[in-house]
Structure 1
């Protein structure tokens, strides 16, 4: 499940065709925008205000409260001196953050690129496993993925040490609570994202240059080194920067693995400062701004590289079909590598969660441990009132955030792509601004807002809904903008000429035609809302927990087997929701096709 990039101006022109002869006159859609007090004007105006509010107000309060002196007299840098000066060990924290983000990004990129090449360009066996290996880690929340690797790589009771290394070598070399363990878990969890991005790049690249080089006598290694990789370099750099930013803002892996061994990164340091007494909001804001600056630089650099990647395009109007590379004698070994990757990314993490959920107390697999298996943990989850409360809260927030974001983004995309309204470029920028805000930073910024604004929503589900809508607004924009840019505005103009109002045109023409893109965005936001922990952990209150927070609380209380049972139930719920949503979408699409 990949995110479609926002359409560029040239893409929009190519999709809508040449401009009419009277392009100097305002178009029909542009004239409609000027009608005051119409339903369309009010709806668009409300959408613009909401986007501006969600994107700017939290950041404004974050900067205001961080730079404001303790006595409120003026601007002060005291929070930065407390956060980064003295004995704060900010240097080691910064190095840990960079090593963690760079190492995870490189691991994800290498694994994802190799697998994408094997899947697209070779005759490798077991190609059906690539789909499961790319989808399952995306559904499994980061907190559960990190927990599963605790069961696998714990120095004393981990399965890998107890059953593999100790019997063979007499030592326990695997320590998941190290910086390298953090990089391993984060890199494997993000490798499917890199795989999906690089598969798209390989499929879009004309292989004629590689085939010409091979016919000229170049070896397979030389073709890969001198032709394939240079052509893929922009996509690889962009994917690496995306993985870098996602790792930099990750909280689950550093929180579960790093804090056990005193390894701090930006996100875990912010969480630690906010859990200390007395709470130093200024220092937390200073750390948040430092993390925000690094993430923003990474996102802007990625966006710039994506624009410059047009110099490396090889896709033309001529159809092509790459001929698979015959692996020959290496085919069994490549197939074994695919099975090994599937084992480490999908089978082992999910299987160890199921295994742990059947134990009273976690222990490495043995005859004694297998004899004590029971379903008591699942019974405990079913009789846990907080579990049903968390499930209800997760459903309400996921469905609510997905619905609000996709409706809002559909309206905003119409303004950006269909009108000539002044400031639509600024509106586009505002809609994508939250993508540079890490989840924990967003949670802190929103808490700054509603701790000071006299609105009684702090500690309620509504503040979590605001956080989710803000966090996933850019992703909704990617889906809705991509869907709308594929439709010609002539359809809307025809409806308007036939007497339909803007609202009727939007509801009966645009939304049905955009249904596939809107549904894909809706499903994606629903899934990631269920997984979300980083922004939620700072905003929830007792009784308003969601499933991810409940799993975090079970980890802090040492209830690992109950956590595993809860995690298995959460994964099953996510799989069921995704399956139902896509089945409903397929049925809806068939009905709409038949009605046309």
Structure 2
């Protein structure tokens, strides 16, 4: 005879309840670990940054005491206030232009019978999926001083275009680059909104223009407000535009002011730079708070029916052809031609409209990619993008499950924590991690002296993209599947791994692709972390452009664009196949 000993149930609990609680213990531990990882990665670097801004000497020097001297020195610097004024002018100008352009395109593509809306919708978002520095160099090739389009307008048409290196010119560039944010936000709002109100206005005799002005635009108020505040936040943190276009004219924004004060000053002052970074962080946080409050107050303008209804397009009549011509011209001038200009700059010895480009064709710019700095930059960027995207997607997927499919008491803070990195200027994340690596050692020195510290900063910066891709897909998976799995005896880990994650597999892969592209093309958080031997593409482009190596920089940017196009193309193809396979299996 064999005797089997059974552990008695917990006091006050039945045997099934005791078994359920034991299954939750490892799940609760895993959920807590995920919460701690996300919180430390996002909020951890802020504390060392605050600490550094309140010390009388850099953290890498011993001793010191608490002081507000870094803030007094920052606020007494006229260059800081000049940069703040330029940033405000640039932010307002870029935001207004981006909101107008994005809203017009969204209405035309989602609510009218404009021809070719599918192609226009794809082309108008090019600026946010292509490398920002590459597109910026393309703009400079065409519309900068001595650019091809600038020379064409001034010599043959007698028209002087706005100086791209002025605050006004940079605002136009910033507005065109960020217009896709408003376009995507407003198009999503119009796609989900019921057209009953617009149909009622048309049936009462209102013209298409009146319907757009009196009904459609008021429905877009929450989306316009959301995109405007997001665009303003991105404008405040702009670094590449003032570094490439502004600094040759001694025009600084807040981000470039901090970068120059640290990197180019004869006697760098890390304290005042940290204080300036805290000022930027407070501004970004306030904008994020205002955005969340105002969007909630504007919810009364949402008109989404309980079930999807048929959306009728507004008839533009003969205006549809001038409208499609203007829209096509804008897309060509803002996205297509700058990319072609970048390719042109990468294949000539000297870029000048005074000499025909076919007389200056050379392959030296691409041959210079064999230089160790350029080749290391490409290799490091691809490696960082792949490993960073893979690890971050896994962690964010787990955090999304904890936030929306668990009973962890702290789970409600995770969505806000995962959205926060994209609202923080990238330069602040870089400075925060710089001080963190100095204070937390080990593993600070190991991370600071390798590419993995850069990978950590870039991954934290882009983690928001993975969350905004995964959460909508997860919300469409019924919680009845979770309950059924638990009823059959499976714990949270098993249900998440075996039931929920397979349902959102396509979203997980799409998040990985977007993370790869974002990390590959990002550079703001790395400008304070890159060391000789650990170069990445974006920072190498900034340094080489400052040294006047325009051709090699354009060639490096073209390689970055090519990698982005290949990854996005393969990613879209594989996601499409997964969706088709999923429908056939269903």
TM-score (norm 2): 0.90
Distance 1:379 1:73, change over 3 A: closer
Give the alignment of 1:107-506 within 5 angstroms.
107-155=97-145, 157-169=146-158, 172-275=160-263, 276-364=265-353, 366-367=355-356, 369-381=357-369, 383-455=370-442, 456=445, 457-500=447-490, 502-506=492-496
* Contact 1:126–1:338, Cα closer than 8 Å, also in 2: no
Q: Which residue of 1 aligns with 2:3?
A: none
* Contact 2:380–2:534, Cα closer than 8 Å, also in 1: yes
- Structure 2 residue 95 is the aligned partner of structure 1 residue 105: yes
- Which sits farther off after the overlay, 291-300 or 222-231? 222-231
Shift in Å at residue 72 of structure 1?
Answer: 5.2
Q: Deviations over 1:500-546 (max 9, x none)?
A: 45444332222211112212221111111111011111111111111
Q: Which residue of 2 aligns with 1:16?
A: none
Q: SS in structure 2 opposite 1:67? A: coil
Q: Deviations over 1:294-333 (max 9, x none)?
A: 1111111222233233211211125432322222222221
Shift in Å at residue 51 of structure 1?
Answer: 1.2
Gaps of 5+ in 2: 1-12
Q: Distance in 2 between matches of 1:330 and 1:431?
A: 44
Q: 1:84 aligns with which of 68, 75, 97?
A: 75
Q: Distance in 2 between matches of 1:293 and 1:148?
A: 33
Distance 1:193 1:523, change over 3 A: same
Q: Which residue of 2 aligns with 1:8?
A: none
Shift in Å at residue 29 of structure 1?
Answer: 12
Distance 1:485 1:327, change over 3 A: closer
* Contact 1:512–1:592, Cα closer than 8 Å, also in 2: no
Q: Distance in 2 between matches of 1:365 and 1:504?
A: 67
- Which sits farther off after the overlay, 72-81 or 227-236? 72-81
Shift in Å at residue 32 of structure 1?
Answer: 5.6
Distance 1:52 1:33, change over 3 A: farther
Distance 1:192 1:266, change over 3 A: same
Shift in Å at residue 250 of structure 1?
Answer: 1.6
Q: Deviations over 1:110-155 (max 9, x none)?
A: 0010111111222222324313323422222111121111111222
Gaps of 5+ in 1: 1-24
- Which sits farther off after the overlay, 463-472 or 439-448? 463-472
- Structure 2 residue 49 is the aligned partner of structure 1 residue 62: yes
Shift in Å at residue 31 of structure 1?
Answer: 8.4
Distance 1:530 1:73, change over 3 A: closer
* Contact 1:443–1:535, Cα closer than 8 Å, also in 2: yes
Q: SS in structure 2 opposite 1:451? A: helix
Give the alignment of 1:48-59 within 5 angstroms.
48-59=35-46
Q: Deviations over 1:453-480 (max 9, x none)?
A: 2232213111112102221223322223
Aligned length: 565
Q: Deviations over 1:166-194 (max 9, x none)?
A: 2221x754421100111111111111221
- Which sits farther off after the overlay, 134-143 or 346-355? 134-143
Q: Deviations over 1:348-370 (max 9, x none)?
A: 10111111111011112643x32
Distance 1:588 1:32, change over 3 A: farther
Distance 1:378 1:304, change over 3 A: same
* Contact 2:80–2:257, Cα closer than 8 Å, also in 1: no
Q: SS in structure 2 opposite 1:89? A: helix
Q: Which residue of 1 aligns with 2:5?
A: none
Q: 1:96 aligns with which of 72, 86, 92?
A: 86
- Which sits farther off after the overlay, 580-589 or 564-573? 580-589
Q: Which residue of 2 aligns with 1:581?
A: 571
TM-score (norm 1): 0.89
Q: Distance in 1 between matches of 2:425 and 2:416?
A: 17
> Over the residues paired in the alignment, what is the CA RMSD in angstroms?
2.5
Distance 1:484 1:32, change over 3 A: farther
Q: Distance in 1 between matches of 2:17 and 2:102?
A: 44
